[in-house]
């Protein structure tokens, strides 16, 4: 199966192959197995975290194989689950780039709400898991060929509490900030709170391309409307005071020593779970369900 797809320059929308397409399941048999194997994905995560209540069965999964041609392909800031009717609960990215080096680009950047950015290199065999409805993320422009596949797992998302920013939440209090860091309702104000970040990522991916001006105009109009609201505007400004300019870079494999240092940093600064797999004692089992993402390089 030829995964090279369209060789547009720049390849701003990297071609992806959806394994629900039955014509791809035979030529991409190894990937199709991931789609149909019940012991992988939802079943395993439900064993570790029953609170996630992920749906099981291949219809509750989506798997896409992606090739980026290295001509600037990237993705601007987005949530994989931006709201109803999406049911995506968990995103799993697995990278397949044995020759990636610093400078090749194509890094995944996680933008946890009001927390430091996490820059993750697309190293071979690196898996990154995160909440589809909770982690804003983007992909930097790639100057080298880049392969990955993404598995999305469905679950009970987008409840009324997850999508409705109620008046009682519009309080300039630290308790509200902590709540929004852990709640998908952050999506209601993310674009206004992180307006410069959204605009920068749009320009990095779309500058000079058809539709870029319209997308920027729509973004700016949305932000302007929220800032003009008598209650929402001051609340957005309050949240902006908590934005963080720090970043964490993960451009080397997470050896035990690196993992220990990163984990110590995470425990001091943010509510993340960084884990490495092992045969007999998987640290994931001890993590609380409030985790936002984890990385496994084994």
Phi/psi for 116 (5° steps) reads -60, 145
* Nearest residue to 275 (alpha-carbon basis) of 258, 264, 259: 259
Run of H or E residues at 44: helix 42-48
Please give the mean pLDDT across all residues of the chain.
79
Q: Taking the CA atoms of the chain, what radius of gyration do you get in angstroms?
A: 19
Strands 146-154 and 108-111: unpaired
Output the CA torsion sign for 15, 18, 19, 23: negative
* Nearest residue to 185 (alpha-carbon basis) of 202, 203, 169: 169
Average pLDDT score over residue span 28-50: 75
pLDDT band for position 30 (50/70/90)? confident
The whole-number pLDDT of residue 177 equals 95
Query: Has residue 286 got a pLDDT over 50?
Result: no
pTM of the predicted protein model? 0.81
Task: Please determine, looking at this structure, whether the domain spanning 1-298 carries the CATH number 2.20.25.
Answer: no
Lowest mean pLDDT across 31-35, 230-234, 244-248, 291-295: 291-295
Longest dimension (CA), the chain: 57
**Domain ranges (residues) in the chain:** 1-298
pLDDT band for position 270 (50/70/90)? very low
The whole-number pLDDT of residue 26 equals 76
The whole-number pLDDT of residue 16 equals 67
Average pLDDT score over residue span 261-266: 46
Q: Which residues contact 208 (CB under 8 A, 6 or more apart)?
A: none
- Omega within 30 of 0 (cis) for the link into 85: yes
Query: Has residue 291 got a pLDDT over 50?
Result: no
Which residue spans within the chain are E strands per DSSP? Answer: 16-18, 61-68, 75-78, 88-95, 108-111, 117-120, 127-131, 136-139, 146-154, 247-250, 293-296
């Amino acid at each position: 199966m030829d995964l090279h797809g369209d060789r547009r320059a720049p390849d701003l929308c990297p071609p992806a192959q959806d394994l629900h397409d039955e014509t791809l399941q035979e030529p991409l048999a190894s990937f199709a197995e991931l789609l149909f194997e019940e012991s992988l994905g939802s079943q395993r995560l439900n064993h570790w975290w029953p609170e996630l209540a992920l749906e099981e069965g291949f219809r509750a999964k989506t798997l896409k194989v992606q090739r980026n041609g290295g001509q600037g392909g990237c993705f601007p800031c987005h949530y994989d689950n931006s709201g109803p009717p999406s049911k995506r609960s968990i995103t799993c990215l697995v990278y397949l780039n044995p020759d990636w080096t610093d400078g090749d680009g194509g890094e995944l950047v996680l933008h946890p709400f009001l927390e430091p950015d996490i820059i993750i290199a697309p190293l071979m065999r690196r898996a990154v898991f995160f909440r589809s409805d909770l982690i804003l993320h983007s992909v930097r422009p790639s100057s080298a060929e880049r392969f990955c596949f993404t598995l999305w797992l469905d679950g009970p998302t987008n409840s009324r509490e997850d999508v409705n920013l109620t008046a009682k939440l519009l309080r300039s209090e630290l308790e509200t900030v902590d709540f929004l860091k852990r709640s998908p309702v952050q999506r209601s104000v993310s674009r206004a709170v992180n307006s410069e970040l959204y605009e920068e990522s749009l320009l990095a991916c779309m500058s000079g391309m058809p539709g870029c001006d319209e997308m920027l105009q729509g973004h700016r109009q949305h932000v302007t409307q929220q800032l003009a609201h008598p209650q929402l505007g001051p609340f957005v400004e309050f949240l902006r005071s908590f934005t963080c300019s720090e970043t964490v870079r993960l451009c080397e494999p997470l050896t035990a020593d690196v993992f220990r240092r990163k984990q110590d940093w995470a425990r001091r600064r943010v509510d993340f779970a960084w884990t490495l797999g092992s045969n007999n004692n998987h640290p994931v089992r001890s993590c609380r369900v409030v985790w936002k993402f984890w990385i496994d390089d084994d």
